Structure formats: structure tokens, C-alpha cells
Structure 1
Amino acid sequence: MKILVTGGLGFIGSHTVVELQNAGYDVVIIDDLSNASESVLDGIQKITGTKPDFEKIDLRDRDAVSAFFKKYSDISGAIHFAASKAVGESVNKPLLYYENNLSSLIYLLQELTKKDAANFIFSSSCTVYGQADELPITEKAPVKPAESPYGNTKQIGEEIIRDTAKIYDNFNAIALRYFNPIGAHESCEIGELPLGVPQNLVPFITQTAAGLRQELSVFGDDYPTSDGTCVRDYIHVVDLAKAHVMALTRLVEDKNETNYETFNLGTGTGSSVLEVIHTFEEVSGVDLSYKIVDRREGDVVAAYADTVKANEVLGWKSQLTLAEALKSAWNWEKKVRGIN
């Protein structure tokens, strides 16, 4: 069965491609290489023994998307990662985020709904909940007004998919609302390698430890949390990737209860920014230089998942710890930078 993975050379996408191939799926990747490198294909091949097909396409190009589906007419499902993803950047560049994250989704759905049957997994986010009223966050928590344009694109994306699933009986979809993916494959063949300045905490930590960054900024220490810093649910990317395969298989085997479902993906445990920093220092043996700076617009105080639905309905549960994830991220960073 041939599966399209958009953004398949990115951080989460590449790890999911590995798990799909390990599960016996045939994979074709679309990526525009705006935040990834084609060399990731070699890392995937070293892990699985198979190099997936790859097409460099900007999904905002409707004609290119249409031509792709004519060329690969045997695609029976898609996992959609391709999107701009930085909360802070989205606040400063809202139109870029709305164009990139929504037009690409629409053009994909237009092609998939032409098929006799199509299964679709959407890379959503816990940002759809905003600052939740209760913790941990269940799938029944209300979707709040978004704190950022990035979060809003995930909300609108889910609405588009839900409305599409209502109309097309041949179309089944699952939105996976994940929390904060970190870590790298244990082989150190693939990992998180942002182009330019990292927008997420852990690559900024590892780059600071490696000497690429002078110091780490902690955005605010006056939040109502145990140590004043924001709390998030950090999940190992390999656990996350395996959940995508299980979600796809759920649709392939017609085990879904409705043709649009949502699942939270997290560990169920919240960790503060300072906890992450200190845990990294413990597993790496490196003292990090960091400073407290002003709060960042768009950040919520705390977010961590209630994972009961994913555990019981999807049959998935995270296995790897925060320390294991941070250790793998550091091993990857050291390999990339040539550090012994």
C-alpha cells in the first residue's frame, strides 16, 4: 500500500517514514526542502534498507499537486506534516502561515477526495486547546481562540478536514493532536536539524551545549507553575512516529468509529522549561548557559495531555522518557557537529 508523507524529510516526518517502512508500507515523500535536507533520504535508507521515493514540490502549487497525483495514481493514503510550525514566527508572519498551512491542505484534500477511497492523517497540535481550563487536557476540552496564527491554522485545518469528511464517504481522517516532540532516532541517522535559528526549546538547548549558541533564553519565570517557567508535555519523536502508523492502520483496517477522529498524543506528564534544562545537564554532563528574558507572545502557561483515549482506543502509549529523549537529541547533535 503506497502512502504519501508530506514534509517527510522534516523532523517528525522522517521518523514516521522509518516506522511506516518498518511496518511494510510503501512510501513516497513530498517536501519543498524549506526546512529540511535531501540528505535525510540517506539516513532513512541506512535505518530501513529502503530509500523512499521523493518529489520536491511546493504544495502551494496546485498544478504541481495535481500532476503528482496523476503520476502516483496508486496512493491510498496520506500523512500530512508539511507546514510552517513556529509559534513566534507565526505571530510576526501571519499571512505566510495562513497561505502555507491552509492552501497546501486544501489542494491535498481536493486530490484525495477524487479517489475511490483515501485515508488521511493530519499533523495537528495541542495548540488547538489554547490555555485549557483543566489539566491534563482531554480530547473533549473546548477548542479555544488560538493564541497564535500557527495555532489557528491547526484549528482551521481540523475544521476543513471535519467538513470534508462529512461530505465524502470515501474519505476517512484522523487528526493527531500532539504535544512537544523531541529526541532523535537511536541510530543517530536522523534527528531534528532546523535550518537557521531553532524555534523550539530542545534544538536550542543542544546547539547551545555544542557551542553554536552563546546562551539559551528562557521566556519568562513568572508563570503560575512550580518554578515560574512554562510547562509542556515532551514526547519522544519515535513514540510519536509509531502513533501515526497505528492511526493509519486503524483507518486501513476500518476500525475507526467515525470517518473523522481526534487523538491526543503525549506522555501525560508536564515538564517545565527549567526541568528540561536541568535534565539535559544531567544526561549530557554539560552545564548550560541560560538567561531569563521577557515572556513570548503566543505561549500558554501549561499544557500536558490526558492520554486515556489514545491508550485505550488507538492502542498506543508512549514508552520513552524525557531523559532518554534528551540523551538521543544530544547524541544526534554531537554526531552532526562532529563532537566526540
Structure 2
Amino acid sequence: MHIFIDETGTFTGVGQPLSISMIGALIVPNARKRSLEREYGKLRKYLPIEKGEVKGKRLSESDIAKLMPILRHHDVIFEVAAIDLGIHTEEGIRRNQAARAEGMTSSLTDKHHQSLIDAIWKARRELEAYSLQLNIQSAVIFELIDRVIEHGTMYYSQRRPEELANFHWVIDAKGDNSIPTPWETWWTIFIKPALQSKMARDPMRSIKIGDYSHMRRFEFDEISDFMKNLLKPKPDGPKPMNLGLVLSESLRFSTAPEPGLELVDILTNATRRALRGNLQAEGWREIPSIMIARNPNTIQMLSLDTNIPESMKLPYGKTVMAFHKGAKSMLTAKNRKADW
């Protein structure tokens, strides 16, 4: 499978109304990628172009609506993680940043390799030195990647299990391809061990009736004492998954106007515009049809401030609910009927 990732919003504006930023991911089956690119290319020439690229913020409702049948036909998945900084405080986000930084090193012991200890402490110091903006981005992307892997594997294990054999990550680059930004470097270094540790504490869900055989090559062949202590595999259970390999085997940052990156830009921008009230329903009502329903809400709205009341009424609440109601089921029609 191919995963294209892009962001929209400035990740700034704490305390200002509707300061919504989000990061989206479009998962495209490898078997359908060429066909999707071909069909998108036919429509692309009619879309507004800015500096050689299609920009989602420039598309009209009818432009976006025309893309949805193509995306549904190619069995893609759209995931998004968002944050409304308008209901946050800087103090609350700083507390969250400090807690996440502390959590990065809290489990390190003298049993860990010194190189690992040095690398994690370096990543922690970089996180602590980050601007508020980059701290928020790191929190949002972490949640998105976790969800992409879990949902992507569960969904295609029932429909296209061969897609689980390879994971190709393409991230919209903000700097020069030859010179990654500090954010891009930190992302590629830290996200892998962080997700592995999270999986140890809270294992990713799977479906009993799913076919995960194509993922066996990502299982640990040999598990070090450290990883055994972290993952605690059962003698008669499945081998733990090497998420570092899943994330790093094929990962690149791209500045090119690739179809997948343009499409995820369109979808992510449209979703943000919908929440901000800047896009009529014609432009977003079908986007949920390529999203997987997730409780309590399909659009994942992060909270990095413990002072935010859970019962707070938000102006985009009805839109979030509409996305949730329109999302598709994780299970196939056959599996929904099965007694398992």
C-alpha cells in the first residue's frame, strides 16, 4: 500500500476562534495506484493549478465532488487527525510537551544500549526545544500514523491482504529534498521507536478473520533481551511486529506534484474548510465515504490541554457528526453478517 501524507493549517493561533489545523493521510492500494493516477490525470487538467501543482484550497465544491467517485472506485482510505487550537491554552500545551518529553526517557535503564540512550535523549532535547508549532505537529502526526497502520491493516486484511506486504510512505516535504528540515529528521528518527513502545503498552488491534500472512516478513526474526522485555511476547503467540521496518523500509519526503500528494492535499483542505464553515456540503458530504468509522468520532480531534471541558459545544459539531455517520464500515458486508 502507498500512504501519502500532507498537512493544512498553520498549527498556530492558540486561543483564537476556529484555529483548526490537521494532517491527512491517503492510503492507496498498490494494485490500484496506476489506474487511480490515470483517472485523476484526466480530471486534473480541468482543476486550478498554482505553480505547477493542484492546491486543495483553490478547488470549488464541484471540483472536489467530481473526484469522489474515482477515489471510492479505487478502494482508498482517507484518515485525518486534527486539532482546534482555539480551545487550547499555551500553558496547557506546554505541560503536554513537557510530559511527552519526560515520557520519552522515563523507561530507559542501564540495560539499554548506550547508542539508543543517546539517540532518545537527543530526540527529547530537540522536542523540548521545539517551538509550540512544531510540538503540536509532532503530537498530531504521531496519532495519525498510529491510526493509519492500524486501520490500513485491518481494512485490507479482509479485502486485499497482499497490500500488507509493503508500505510506501510519501510525505509532503517542507524543505529541500536533499536537506531535510530538523522536523523531518526528528520525525523519521523518533516516530519508529515511539510507536514500537506504544504498541507494547497498547497493542494495535487486528481482526481475527483478517489475512495477515503477507505481514510476516515484518515480524522480528530475533528479539533482543531489551525488545523481549518491552514487547513481552507470549511463547505460543504471534511474533511481535517490527514497526521500525514498516515505517522505514520505503519512506521519502517529496516536493514533487505527485498525484497522491495532490489528492491528500485536496481531501485534507476540504475537511478543514468544512469544519471552519468555508465549504458547502456539496464539496465534503462524500468524503466520509472513503473514511472508516471510528468511535467516538471519525475525525480525530486531539486535545493537548487537560483544561478543555469534554462537554464543550463546538460550532462544527454537526459537521463532525455528519462525517461520522457517512463513514464506511471496517468490516466487509460478508464479515458483518458472520458470527465471529
Q: What TM-score do you get using the length of structure 1 for normalisation?
A: 0.25
The structure with the largest alpha-carbon Rg is 2
